[in-house]
């Protein structure tokens, strides 16, 4: 009986930990309902702080934090004592670095539809690709590669490596719709990731994927995603057009 109770409490705590902060949920709802939906156009005034508190049943502190997030992302202008106004839609995809979300989600939250092209899903054995050497013992891997496009322009080339124990190649071929990370999140198999970002000039081979001689400077993201136990469930290598993505990091003073 005691063991059953502990198990129930553990599950409840896991759900609490998995919940996103209320201000983040409100920020994204405001963005979707008032800005991305077109309900308000650039130059229109946002609902007042009091109105938003009533709509969401939230405190002024929570609403202010949500609105500040929209301001930081370039969606609104806040004038103290007067209110907030919608700004023209940013041309680049904006996102903070503190959220474990896919590029598809980045784009959706920025109001920029993103397409997936040149998808290739193949099974690899041990030793077939040097980038799989960071995994512990496993019988094989699935490699998923694809381009990401906005308005027909290639803005990203992404390659993921997933061990067979995490997901089979057959499952990936059946369920993949554009994002490996989204699939892992849906299955509660991704808890956090460590990511390194490196600016680079594309070599000849990479430049061909981004338009040849007109290829832009790139940002290379090398990311290891882990589950709750710390086991690596995905290695992702992504090359992004530097002018299409803006990543933000909030720095705080030491306590």
pLDDT in tens, 66-99: 998 888 777 888 998 889 999 876 555 555 566 7
Q: Please, are residues 132 and 222 in contact by the beta-carbon 8 Å criterion?
A: no
| 6, pLDDT greater than 50 | no
- Residue 3 is predicted with a pLDDT of 46
What is the mean pLDDT of the segment spanning 157-177? 96
- Residue 7 is predicted with a pLDDT of 42
**pLDDT tens readout for residues 117-156:** 999 999 999 889 999 988 877 889 999 999 999 888 899 9
**pLDDT tens readout for residues 182-227:** 999 999 999 999 989 999 999 999 999 998 878 889 999 999 999 9
Split at pLDDT 50, 70, 90, the class of 15 is very low
- Residue 136 is predicted with a pLDDT of 78
Distance, CA of 116 to CA of 146 (rounded, Å): 7
| 8, pLDDT greater than 50 | no
- Residue 12 is predicted with a pLDDT of 43
Which residues have C-beta within 8 Å of that of residue 169, sequence separation ≥ 6?
121, 122, 123, 142
């Amino acid at each position: 009986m005691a063991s059953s109770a502990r198990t129930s409490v553990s599950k409840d705590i896991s759900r609490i930990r998995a919940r996103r902060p209320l201000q983040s949920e409100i920020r994204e709802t405001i963005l979707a309902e008032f800005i991305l939906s077109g309900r308000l156009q650039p130059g229109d005034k946002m609902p007042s702080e009091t109105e938003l508190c009533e709509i969401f049943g939230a405190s002024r502190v929570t609403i202010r934090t949500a609105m500040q997030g929209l301001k930081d992302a370039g969606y609104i202008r806040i004038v103290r004592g007067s209110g907030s106004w919608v700004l023209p839609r940013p041309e680049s995809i904006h996102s903070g670095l503190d959220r474990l979300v896919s590029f598809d989600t980045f784009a959706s939250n920025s109001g920029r539809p993103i397409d997936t092209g040149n998808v290739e899903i193949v099974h690899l054995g041990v030793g077939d690709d040097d980038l799989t050497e960071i995994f512990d013992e496993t019988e094989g891997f699935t490699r998923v590669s694809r381009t990401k496009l906005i308005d027909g322009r290639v803005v990203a080339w992404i390659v993921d490596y997933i061990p067979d124990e995490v997901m089979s190649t057959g499952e990936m071929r059946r369920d993949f719709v554009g994002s490996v990370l989204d699939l892992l999140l849906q299955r509660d198999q991704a808890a956090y990731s460590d990511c390194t970002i490196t600016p680079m000039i594309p070599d000849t081979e990479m430049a061909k994927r981004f338009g040849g001689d007109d290829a832009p400077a790139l940002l290379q993201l090398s990311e290891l995603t882990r589950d709750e136990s710390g086991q690596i469930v995905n290695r992702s290598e992504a090359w992004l057009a530097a002018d299409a993505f803006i990543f933000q990091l909030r720095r705080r003073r030491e306590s």
